[in-house]
Amino acid sequence: MSSTTTAPREAARPPAAATAEHRRSLRRHERTAGYLFVAPFFLVFLAMIIAPLAYAAYLSLFREQLIGGNAFVGLTNYLEALQDSSFIGGVLRVLRFFLLQVPLMLVLSLLFALVLDSGRLRLKRFVRLSIFVPYAVPSVIATIMWGYLYGPDFGPFAQLAEAVGGSAPQFLSNRWALVSIANIVTWGFVGYNMIILYAALRSIPTELYEAARIDGAGEARIAWSIKIPAIRPALLLTLIFSIIGSLQLFNEVHLLRNLAPNVIGRDYTPNLYAYNLAFVNQEINYAAAIAFLLGFVIMILSYVVQLSSQRRERRP
């Protein structure tokens, strides 16, 4: 008499089910490994970016008072900042700086990128590196260098004017200070934007150029009708970066203020104003509100530019 034993259903699992479970387990391990790899970045990001921002937002809701100490005032600091002529004047000044400096910088960057991409330039690597090198110079060093050139008493332009019996040019006067600062920023960031646009140009299929040449299009026509429309996303990216950089203008005005204190005041730009409020006047709470309002202005302008670009692309 023989007895038969039946194995449990789990032991007789079909191969397909076992394979599916193995894949799910592998995906879980991959997700866990991915989280472990990015965990150091997120920890640093939380500690160095999110936590300070949260603390600054907390500080902006309080105010140090003579009686009662640090008291909760809600949005009072923000409402006061919106009526602060120093803050409003600084924002309008950097917007004028943006309208003055950014179009010129982006046009130069685009021209240099198109010339490099044309393939007709000799010593292309040397020229590309020469245009990009100013970006590698720290803004502090660049401002000190240009400050020496702008100097009305010791700069080379002042010495040349003295040698010919003329008066030294006033680069840091009320009329020319913003232009002089724009020149420093343009000198430093033309190469940076050129590299972004040049990389975008290199990604365009060359077959488009060949087809256009067969149809009789010249290089200028190819650049205007094919290259520039194709790199519109890169142009938008450089424009948004320029908006952020313009509204955050600080190093140049902070250092040049030593040469022209009567022209470049403590509230010349919003960032400089917030810096002086926090570290000179010890108004930490109000400075935090100024900084957040500036961040809101940057977000609004960036969103408006991006939205207008998307609407333009949707038009037939």
- Is 65 within the bounds of a domain? no
User: Residue 126 corresponds to which amino acid?
Assistant: F
- Give the three-state DSSP class for 284: helix
Please give the Cα distance from 222 to 230 (Å, whole number): 11
Give 234-246 as a DSSP string.
Answer: HHHHHHHHHHHHH
Decide if pLDDT at 193 tops 80: yes
Please give the Cα distance from 255 to 280 (Å, whole number): 16
The per-residue pLDDT for 68 is 66
The tokens for 133 are 């090198």
* C-alpha R_g of the chain: 29
The per-residue pLDDT for 18 is 65
For 53-77, write each residue's pLDDT tens digit: 999 999 999 988 777 678 888 899 9
CATH label of the domain that carries residue 268:
1.10.3720.10
- Is 10 within the bounds of a domain? no
The per-residue pLDDT for 15 is 64
Q: What angle do CA 44, 49, 54 make, to 5 degrees?
A: 125
Domain hosting residue 81, numbered range: 76-314
Decide if pLDDT at 14 tops 70: no
Please give the Cα distance from 261 to 8 (Å, whole number): 88
pLDDT band of residue 16 (cuts 50, 70, 90) is low
User: pTM for the full model?
Assistant: 0.84
Decide if pLDDT at 1 tops 50: no
- Is 32 within the bounds of a domain? no
Give 46-108 as a DSSP string.
Answer: IIIIIHHHHHHHHHTTEEEETTTEEEE-TTHHHHHHHT-HHHHHHHHHHHHHHHHHHHHHHHH
pLDDT band of residue 185 (cuts 50, 70, 90) is very high
Burial of 134 (0-12, 13-18, 19+ CB in 10 A): middle
For 214-243, write each residue's pLDDT tens digit: 888 888 888 898 999 999 999 999 999 999
- Is 308 within the bounds of a domain? yes
Q: In whole numbers, what is the pLDDT of the chain averaged over residues?
A: 88
Contact 246, 102 (CB under 8 A): yes
The tokens for 152 are 């009305």
For 96-145, write each residue's pLDDT tens digit: 999 999 999 999 999 999 999 987 778 888 999 999 999 999 999 999 99
For 255, residues 6+ apart whose C-beta sits below 8 A from its C-beta are 140, 143, 144, 147
pLDDT band of residue 315 (cuts 50, 70, 90) is low
The per-residue pLDDT for 85 is 94
pLDDT band of residue 28 (cuts 50, 70, 90) is confident
Number of domains observed in the structure of the chain: 1
- Is 39 within the bounds of a domain? no
Please give the Cα distance from 269 to 241 (Å, whole number): 18
- Is 105 within the bounds of a domain? yes
The per-residue pLDDT for 2 is 47
- Is 94 within the bounds of a domain? yes
- Is 62 within the bounds of a domain? no
For 255-299, write each residue's pLDDT tens digit: 999 989 999 999 999 999 999 999 999 899 999 999 999 999 999
Q: What whole-number percentage of the chain has pLDDT above 90?
A: 61
